[in-house]
Amino acid sequence: MIDIIQLLELAKKAALAAGAAILKVYNSGSFGVEMKSDQSPLTFADKTAHTIIVSQLEKTGLPILSEEGSDIPYEERENWEYFWLIDPLDGTKEFIKRTGEFTVNIALVHYNIPVAGVIYAPYVDILYYGSKEGGVYKVEKEEQTQLAFISEKNTIEALRQKKSITVVASKSHMNDETNAFINQFQNASFSSMGSSLKLMLLAEGAADIYPRLAPTMEWDTAAGDAILRSLNMGVYQQDLQTKLLYNKENLLNPSFIAL
């Protein structure tokens, strides 16, 4: 029997340890940047965080799928019941630009559904974690607060009726499709944040909706998605009915709308 609360505690420790190592690289100013085959950047911090997290989570005996890990054939992973899905450093570009808006993402996935998540922002020392079993929490300056469960899910129709809403948008991924989507709302104000912190703005009630009509990978969203699901929110495909699924043959997410 899987003890999700206990596994979440281990994931928190792994995220905090990885975050401490990331900050050392960040403060050193020597990032060791290289480009991966898809032309996305990789740093010493990505590699170090990956090693630390894997060394902690492999104690659970569960499989691990990481952005910085080796490619695992779909035939090998398609029947995994529980597994870890991790992004050791989400927001590497933000890390290199020294904005501070980068995170460690760790999700526990049950077949295709993220059931527990940890997001740690080491630069600001803020930790989010949660599951349906134990609730969702934010830890800042050693103070822990529980985030509110949403009794009634938000809908596009309800948001259209509001006199004003806050939209989370990625400055670097704004396009005509995203602008057209946003224009359906009255007096939409914008909030922008790097990495998975955008999803946490929804979790905290600081924003109403996050349309991402551009590609992301499963490890970018899984931890935040798990936290949102635990609050009765979610990350939906564009039909607004189907939530994102994980451990697909192709690990690329479709465009999504989180609310």
Pairing of strands 143-146, 252-253: unpaired
Phi, psi of 249 (to 5 degrees): -60, -45
pTM of the model: 0.96
Check residue 9 and give its pLDDT.
98
- State how far the Cα of 74 lies from the Cα of 204, in Å rounded to an integer: 35
Question: Who contacts 136 (Cβ-Cβ below 8 Å, separation ≥6)?
Answer: 128, 129, 130, 146, 147, 149, 203, 227, 230, 231
Quote the Cα angle for 155-161-163, to 5°.
120
Rg of the chain on CA atoms, in Å: 17
Helix (H, G, I), strand (E, B) or coil at 224: helix
Positive or negative, the CA dihedral 149, 154, 159, 161 is negative
For every one of its 259 residues, what pLDDT tens digit does the chain have, with 9 covering 90 and above?
A: 899 999 999 999 999 999 999 999 999 988 887 888 777 888 889 999 999 999 999 999 999 999 998 789 999 999 999 999 999 999 998 999 999 999 999 999 999 999 999 999 999 999 999 999 999 999 998 899 999 999 988 899 999 999 999 999 876 677 888 888 988 998 899 888 888 999 999 999 999 999 999 889 999 999 999 999 999 999 999 999 999 999 999 999 999 999 9
Instruction: Look up residue 110 and give its two tokens.
Output: 């049950």
Q: Would you put residue 100 in left (φ > 0), alpha (ψ -120 to 50) or beta?
A: left
Q: Taking a C-beta distance cutoff of 8 angstroms, is the pair 198, 168 a contact?
A: yes
Check residue 172 and give its pLDDT.
67
Which ranges in the chain are annotated with CATH 3.40.190.80?
A: 156-258
Check residue 191 and give its pLDDT.
86
What number of CA atoms fall less than 13 Å from residue 205's CA on the CB side? 10
Check residue 169 and give its pLDDT.
82
Instruction: Look up residue 74 and give its two tokens.
Output: 């779909």
Domain 4-146 has CATH 3.40.50.720: no
Closest CA to 225 of 89, 146, 87, 115: 115
Span 156-258 CATH architecture: 3-Layer(aba) Sandwich (3.40)
Which ranges in the chain are annotated with CATH 3.30.540.10?
A: 4-146
Quote the Cα angle for 25-221-18, to 5°.
25
Q: Where are the alpha helices (DSSP H) in the chain?
A: 4-28, 44-57, 74-77, 92-97, 156-161, 176-182, 197-203, 218-230
